[in-house]
Structure 1
Amino acid sequence: MRHLYLLRSLVWILMFSLLITGCWDRREIEERMSVTSLAIDPDKKGYEVTAIVPIPTKIIGGGGGGGGGGEGSAVEVFSSSGGNLGYVINMLNEKTTESIYLGNTQIVLIGEGQAKRGIGPFIDFLRRNPEVRRQLWPVVIKGKAKDAVKVQTNLEQVPTNYIKDLLETGVEGEEIPNFYLGKLFVELSSPARQAPIVNYIRAEKDKYEWLGVAIFKKDKMVGTLEDKAELSVLLHLREQKKGRIITTTCPDRKEEIVFMPHDVKRTITVTDQPQVRANIEIRGEIIEKGCALGFDQKKAFNAIEKQLEAAYEKKAKHLMDRAQKEWKLDIFHFGDWVRAFRPELWKRIDWHHTFPSIPIQVNYKVMVKQIGIESQ
């Protein structure tokens, strides 16, 4: 009898549990308003947040270009201000017919003024919000972020989709940093880093232009790096990516040659002094040249390779000077190597305090696969 009683009790418990289970706070996706991008600027109250919401019927209709808030626009723009991001998002909910949903947000546009003031508090909000995807792109906008949502491009109905495509294409080609929100969280949390680099973009009337990267010291922007050759050096050292094409003069110093890198290998050594030595090996091809080179192929290859090595090393030296003297920041992640491979050195010194005075040597080895030989 006792077993029968237990069995009946178990059946009743299972039946009752079927009635009470479920998502108590579930809301259908149609009942929420998907925000594709947020723009954040400084305000006397704290933050001014602009939310961009696509209008599905206009996007499906395939009408004209996107943009912010004109007649025929494919997006709706909502703005609000307040002392913290969570409060402002709640205020935005009062201006919409449905609650704001951040699960589809792809871009967070940060105005340059806000980046210089600091991004820590609202980054903390994004970290704690379970809806926010770690793969979204944080981007610093030259000027005000809210102006960037007004851009009307001919290629995209939702304007900030243009930024996403621009970044994804550059990352796929290994020409710009793959710096998404999750990496920003790691960068701000790691004791060996504390120097995020965030993609830096300018918004114009009908297009966006990738300018380079914004340099941060912890959560505050302290400068920009816009020289494309120096950005390539940064990618070589930091991410072991190939970077962009580089232009230098021919061995006769009269015309120019254009080099396209294909493969990059990086070796970094940290000594006990401490001193950093970085050796970078690049393979690529000449895609354009304005000088005639003779049939002595080996001599021509050597001359071009030496010229390219000198060009890369000159850019590397200038970038090191800026990092150590202007920003005083380890933007190259050398601290990761010290912490991982020289733990006793890491414990002995304050890496971030010592970095500006550490000798750093960067050597390049360039190997040209194709050159294009002409008779003279």
Structure 2
Amino acid sequence: MNKRFPKKFLLCVMALILPLCLSGCWDQVEIENRALVLGLAIDEAPPESAKEDPKVTVLKNQPINGKMIRVTAQIAVPGRVPLGPGGGMGGGGSTGNANPVWVVQVIGHTLDEALNNLQQEIADPRYLVHLRIIVINEEIAKLGLDELNDFLRRNPEVRRRIWLLVSDIEAARLMKVAPPLERVPTLYLDAMVEKAIGMGKFPPNYLGAFWDEESKWGQDGFLPYITIKGKENVMIKGIAYFSDGRLAGTSDPIEIGAYMAAKGLNPGGYSTLYHVPGIGYVMTKVTERHAKTDVKIVDGKPHVSFKIHVESVLDEHFGSEQAVDSSADIRKIERVFDQNAAALIKSFIRKTQRDHSDIFGIGEYVRAHYRSFWRDNIRQKRDWELMYADIPVDVEIENTIRRVGMKSK
């Protein structure tokens, strides 16, 4: 009997079965036949917009109460998305001033319904796999983001590293802003926030990080707060922080630096202008931050201490003819910085306490180190948000100026 026969037989069977497993992209859809949504803007729809509801998903005799939203979608036009600020076009498409995106507006009771209405108005199937930016108007954020987050979390096409932004103006305007540096508004917004992280101007708080913060009982989430200056200048206006799932307040731009100092986030990037008695006005730029958070239970209440050390450089000195040329002058500048920075950080913490928004995650320190206290006092997230408003907070900061720049003798 030929012993090699079973081996040859198995090889033949495998040769017949393997092609069935290598069928390729049987359900492929060419990129030219996809409506790739790059950005979404969500605003409140005017009351008269209810008459424009296309009734795509709502059954007859099923009235739905509540405000409607207006969703502005920015869809990439195949072959027109530029490869660079002023360079050629992607995919070998046409050149010139052809608009690289198509902006479409729809209304709906929820984001899911609005996207279904959007699909009714475009020929190609919509895809969110390339979604980069979602901008929501602050009035929408004040109503709460639970329904929005629920839809986005369950949608497998939505990536966790996209940006959710809060705007103090009509969010739809940001879908049409195209500065000379970038012809695609969504790509410009995405690059602006990403570069702000690299320069130490904003924490890396993507959509996934925001969801993570909101799911913790001892911490609240925050998002970038943006606006438009002039015609096409987009500005990061501050931090939009949340409480109980709703927008609770916003910060000033310099308070972003205060938050990053308290959390010890690097790289440093914020400059501070202040007056030093006997020396004049100086500007120092923070280059590095280190922070330690200590939590203790004192008299049945959490007590928090922030110990912060920053390194900086002396960028500018004006308003006085006296030169900064001694170590005593440097130490004096450092002491004044310490006083002003500590007051700024403490003021911002007090602001978040008044709004019951623990974006610093102090509650997570309490939950980790004092579990019995947490179990006895905290039954839900709102309990900690209310307790956070009354806890004592101390801030100590020390600045070390490492460089004063060039000077002539």
Q: TM exceeds 0.5?
A: yes
Q: Does 1:337 align with 2:365?
A: yes
Match of 1:199 in 2: 224
Q: Does 1:231 align with 2:256?
A: yes
Q: Which moved more, 1:43-52 or 1:11-20?
A: 11-20
The correspondence for 2:109, drawn from 69, 83, 92, is: 83
Write the letter of the residue equivalent to 1:312: A
Match of 2:73 in 1: 51
Q: Distance in 2 between matches of 1:14 and 1:39?
A: 52
Q: Distance in 2 between matches of 1:83 and 1:17?
A: 49
Q: Distance in 2 between matches of 1:187 and 1:205?
A: 34
Match of 1:158 in 2: 184
Residue aligned with 2:121, SS: coil
Q: Does 1:280 align with 2:308?
A: yes
Q: Distance in 2 between matches of 1:361 and 1:243?
A: 24
Match of 2:287 in 1: 262
Q: CA deviation at 1:373?
A: 9.4
Q: Distance in 2 between matches of 1:201 and 1:95?
A: 30
Match of 1:41 in 2: 43
Q: CA deviation at 1:46?
A: 2.7
TM-score in terms of structure 2 length: 0.81
Change (3 A) 1:271 1:243: farther
Match of 1:328 in 2: 356
**Cα deviation per residue 1:188-217 (whole Å; 9 max; x = unaligned)?**
211221x21110111352221211111211
**Cα deviation per residue 1:245-267 (whole Å; 9 max; x = unaligned)?**
111102327x3100011111101
Q: Does 1:298 align with 2:327?
A: yes
Q: Does 1:95 align with 2:112?
A: no
Q: Distance in 2 between matches of 1:58 and 1:26?
A: 22
Match of 1:19 in 2: 20
The correspondence for 2:399, drawn from 358, 366, 371, is: 366
Q: CA deviation at 1:293?
A: 4.9
Q: Does 1:352 align with 2:385?
A: yes
Write the letter of the residue equivalent to 1:58: R
Residue aligned with 2:403, SS: coil
Q: CA deviation at 1:360?
A: 0.2
Aligned residue pair count: 366
Residue aligned with 2:310, SS: strand
Match of 2:91 in 1: none
Q: Distance in 2 between matches of 1:355 and 1:334?
A: 8
The root-mean-square deviation of aligned C-alpha atoms, in Å, is: 3.0
Q: CA deviation at 1:62?
A: 8.0
The correspondence for 1:109, drawn from 110, 135, 138, is: 135
Q: 1:179-190 residue pairs with structure 2 within 5 A?
A: 179-190=205-216
Change (3 A) 1:251 1:302: same
The correspondence for 1:217, drawn from 243, 247, 253, is: 243
Residue aligned with 1:357, SS: coil
Q: Distance in 2 between matches of 1:63 and 1:74?
A: 12
Change (3 A) 1:213 1:94: same
Write the letter of the residue equivalent to 2:165: V
Query: Does the 8 A contact of 1:46 with 1:84 survive in 2?
Result: yes
Q: Which moved more, 1:49-58 or 1:274-283?
A: 49-58
Q: Which moved more, 1:241-250 or 1:164-173?
A: 241-250
Consecutive unaligned residues of structure 1, counting only runs of 5 or more, are 66-70
Residue aligned with 1:179, SS: coil
Consecutive unaligned residues of structure 2, counting only runs of 5 or more, are 48-66, 88-96, 379-383
**Cα deviation per residue 1:149-171 (whole Å; 9 max; x = unaligned)?**
12232221111222111111110
**Cα deviation per residue 1:134-182 (whole Å; 9 max; x = unaligned)?**
1111111112111221223222111122211111111001111211111
Q: Does 1:31 align with 2:33?
A: yes
The correspondence for 1:308, drawn from 337, 361, 374, is: 337
Tell me the percent identity: 28
Query: Does the 8 A contact of 1:295 with 1:374 survive in 2?
Result: no
**Cα deviation per residue 1:308-331 (whole Å; 9 max; x = unaligned)?**
001101112211221222x12212
Write the letter of the residue equivalent to 2:196: G
Residue aligned with 2:372, SS: helix
Change (3 A) 1:85 1:110: same
Q: 1:133-148 residue pairs with structure 2 within 5 A?
A: 133-148=159-174
Q: Distance in 2 between matches of 1:293 and 1:304?
A: 13
Residue aligned with 1:58, SS: coil
